[in-house]
Amino acid sequence: MEEKYLTVTALTRYLKYKFDSDSNLRKVYLRGEISNFKSHTTGHFYFSLKDETSKINAIMFKTNTSKLNFTPTEGMKVLVTGSISVYEATGNYQIYVEDMLEDGVGNLYIAFEQLKKKLEQEGLFDLKHKKPIPKIPEKVGIVTASTGAAIRDILSTIHRRFPLCKTYLFPCLVQGENAAKDIVKKIKQANEYPLDVLIVGRGGGSFEDLNCFNDEEVARTIFASTIPVISAVGHEVDYTIADFVADLRAPTPTGAAELAVPNLVDLKHQLTQYHIRLNESIIKKVKIQKLYLESFKSSFAIKNPMLLFENKRQKLDVLYEQLIRSIQSYVERKKNALYQLQTHYILSNPKQLYEPSKQMLKNIIEKLELLNPLSVLKRGYSLTYHNDTLLHHIASLKKGDQIMVKLYDGDIYANIERIEKQNGKNKKI
Amino acid sequence: MEKTKKFEENIKELEQIINELETGEIDLDESINKYTTAMKLVKECDEKLKTVEEQVSKMVLENGEEEPFEVIDN
C-alpha cells in the first residue's frame, strides 16, 4: 500500500531526469525581460525572465557572467542561451544561462560597428577632411532638442564665456524613430545660415537613445556640412558615428560650447597683450633707429665729408689715368703696326736695295783717286828717276848723271850740273 | 556676418603684424605704417569686446522664421 507513494526527492529526481533527457531543453534560445535581478557576491546572477504572460527563473554562473560586456539591469530585454533543468531543493525548473545579449542593442551594436568600418574605409573620418574650428565665432548654430540639459548647458556656457556670440537653435528630435531624419533636416537647414560653427548633439542616454547619431545619413550630412561641426553626444564615454565624422568631438554639450567659443576674459587679456607687444616693438624699433642714426652721425665719413669727395676724386684720377693709358697703348699699337708696314715697304723698295752699294762704290772711287800718284803731279809735283829708279835721296847721284823728271803732262830728260845738300839747292839741272 | 569674420581676421592680422614688428627686420617707415594699422585693429577689437550687450538666442523654425528662445527649466 505504502509502496505506491513516492518520496518528493524521487519525484523531483524523475522530473529532473525527464528535463535533462529532453534534447529540446538542452539548448534553448530564449527572449525575455529581466526582472528580480540579483547579482550575488559569488559572481552568480539570479533573475527571472518574463514576457507579457509568463515567467521563468534563471541563473547564470560566474564562469559565464564574467564573459559579459554589459551589466544586466532590471527591465532589460535580453536574448539568452542556456539549458533547462530542475533545481531539486526548490523543485523549480529554471534556465541555466550560458550566454546573454542585449535584445536589439546587440544588433544595434553590430550595425554600429559595420557602419563605422564602412565610413572609415570611405575616408569620412580622415583628418584631412576636418575643417578648422574658428577661434572667435560670432554666430553659433545648435542642432539639438529645444528642451533638456543639452541646450541649457550649451547656451549657458556660451553666454558665460562669450556673450557677444549670437546663438541659433535648430530644434530637433534627438531620440526615437524619426530623430535621425530630423537631425539631417536641421543640419541642412543650418547650412543655409551664415554660421561660423555648428554644434550637433544631445544629452546622455542609453545606447539606443543615442542611436540616431549612429545613422548613416546623419553621418553623411555632418560630413557634407560646409559649416564646421562640433559633435556633442551624451557623456564622455559615449562614442557615436557622428563623433567620428564631426570636425571636432566634444565629450559633452558643455564641452562643445567651450570648444566653440573663446572666453571673453581671455580674449580681452590677449588683446591687451597685443597692445603691449605692439607698443614695445615700435619703441624698440625707434630706439634702434636712433642708435643707428647716432652711429651714422659719428661715423668717420660724416665727420670728414671731404673724405667722401677725396675718395671719389681719387677714383676719378685713377680712371683718368687708365683712360689715357689705354688710349696711348692703342695709339702705340697702331703706330707699331704702321711702322712695321713701312719697314716692310721700304725694305722691299729696289732703290733701297742698291743705294748702299752705289754709295760704297763712290767712296771706293774717291779713295782710289786720292791714292793715284799722278793726281799729285797735277798740283805741280814731279817724280825724278835715275836708271828707271825713283829717286828718294841725292846721295847716289853725281854730276853728269842723266835723270828723267816726270811731270803731269810729260817727261824731261836732263843731266845733273850740280848737287847741293839741304839748306841750299839740292840739285840743278 | 561681415563683422564676425572681421573680428577673427583682425586678430589674425594683428598677430601677424606684431610678429613682423618684433623681428625688427622692417624699416622704420613701414614699421610705423604697420604700427598705425595694428593700433586701429586693436581699437576696433577692443570696442567690439566692450559691447557687452547680451545676445538673445534665437530659435529657427522649419519655415525659416526666427523667434527669441529661452531655455525652459523644468
Domain count, chain A: 3
Phi/psi of residue A382, nearest 5 degrees: -140, 165
In this complex, how many residue pairs, one in chain A and one in chain B, have their CB atoms less than 8 Å apart?
110
Q: Decide if B65 touches A, using CB distance below 8 A.
A: no
Q: Is the predicted pLDDT of residue A69 greater than 90, yes or no? A: no
Q: Decide if B1 touches A, using CB distance below 8 A.
A: yes
CB atoms within 10 A of CB B33: 13
Assign B73 a pLDDT band (cuts: 50, 70, 90). low
Q: Is the predicted pLDDT of residue A349 greater than 90, yes or no? A: no
Among A103, A136, A162, give the residue marking a domain's end: A103
Tell me whether residue A301 is in a domain.
Answer: no
Mean pLDDT of A95-105: 86
Cβ distance of B31 and A282 shorter than 8 Å = yes
User: Taking a contact as any Cβ pair under 8 Å apart, which residues of chain A between 86 and 145 contact chain B?
Assistant: 134-139
Q: A312: Cβ–Cβ under 8 A, 6 or more apart, which residues?
A: none
| A148 shares a domain with A55 | no
- CB contacts of B45 in chain A (<8 Å) are 271
What is the rounded distance in angstroms from the CA atom of residue A276 to the CA atom of residue A53?
A: 78
C-alpha cell at A427: 840739285
Cβ distance of A167 and B55 shorter than 8 Å = yes
Tell me whether residue A268 is in a domain.
Answer: no
Assign A28 a pLDDT band (cuts: 50, 70, 90). very high
Tell me whether residue A279 is in a domain.
Answer: no
**Given this model, what pLDDT does residue B3 score?**
46
Mean pLDDT of A258-275: 91
Q: Is the predicted pLDDT of residue B1 greater than 70, yes or no? A: no
Question: For residue A189, what is the DSSP state?
Answer: H
Q: Decide if B2 touches A, using CB distance below 8 A.
A: no
| A126 shares a domain with A231 | yes
Tell me whether residue A368 is in a domain.
Answer: no
Q: Decide if A168 touches B, using CB distance below 8 A.
A: yes
In terms of Cβ atoms closer than 10 Å to its own Cβ (0-12, 13-18, 19+), residue B19 is exposed
Residue ranges making up the domain that contains A215: 108-262
Mean pLDDT of A385-390: 86
| A200 shares a domain with A92 | no
Question: Which range, A187-191, A325-329, A348-352, has the best average confidence (pLDDT)?
Answer: A187-191
| A117 shares a domain with A33 | no
Q: Is the predicted pLDDT of residue A85 greater than 70, yes or no? A: yes
| A17 shares a domain with A120 | no
Q: Is the predicted pLDDT of residue B54 greater than 70, yes or no? A: no
Residue A146 carries which side chain, given as an amino acid letter?
A: S
| A71 shares a domain with A19 | yes
Assign A252 a pLDDT band (cuts: 50, 70, 90). very high
Cβ distance of B49 and A164 shorter than 8 Å = yes
CB-CB contact of A28 with A99 (8 Å): no
Rounded percentage of chain A residues whose pLDDT exceeds 70: 97
ipTM: 0.81
What is the rounded distance in angstroms from the CA atom of residue A76 to the CA atom of residue A105?
A: 10
Among A71, A103, A135, give the residue marking a domain's end: A103
**Given this model, what pLDDT does residue A422 score?**
73
| A133 shares a domain with A41 | no
- CB contacts of A278 in chain B (<8 Å) are 14, 17-18, 21, 35, 38-39, 42
What is the rounded distance in angstroms from the CA atom of residue A329 to the CA atom of residue A340?
A: 16
| A243 shares a domain with A140 | yes
| A241 shares a domain with A140 | yes
Rounded percentage of chain B residues whose pLDDT exceeds 70: 85
H or E element: which one contains A106? Answer: helix A105-122
Tell me whether residue A50 is in a domain.
Answer: yes
Q: A221-258: b or e for each residue (b if 16 or more CB lie within 10 Å)? A: bbbebebbbbbbbbeeebbbbbbbbbbbbbbbbbbbbb
| A194 shares a domain with A232 | yes
CA-atom Rg of chain A in angstroms: 71
| A133 shares a domain with A215 | yes
H or E element: which one contains A32? Answer: strand A28-39
What is the rounded distance in angstroms from the CA atom of residue B19 to the CA atom of residue B12?
A: 11
User: Taking a contact as any Cβ pair under 8 Å apart, which residues of chain A between 266 and 295 contact chain B?
Assistant: 267-268, 270-271, 274-275, 277-278, 281-282, 284-286, 288-289
CA-atom Rg of chain B in angstroms: 19
What counts of helices (H) and strands (E) characterise chain A? 14, 16
| CA nearest to A168 within chain B | B58
Domain of residue A45, CATH code: 2.40.50.140
| A120 shares a domain with A26 | no
Up-side HSE of residue A133: CA atoms within 13 Å toward CB? 20
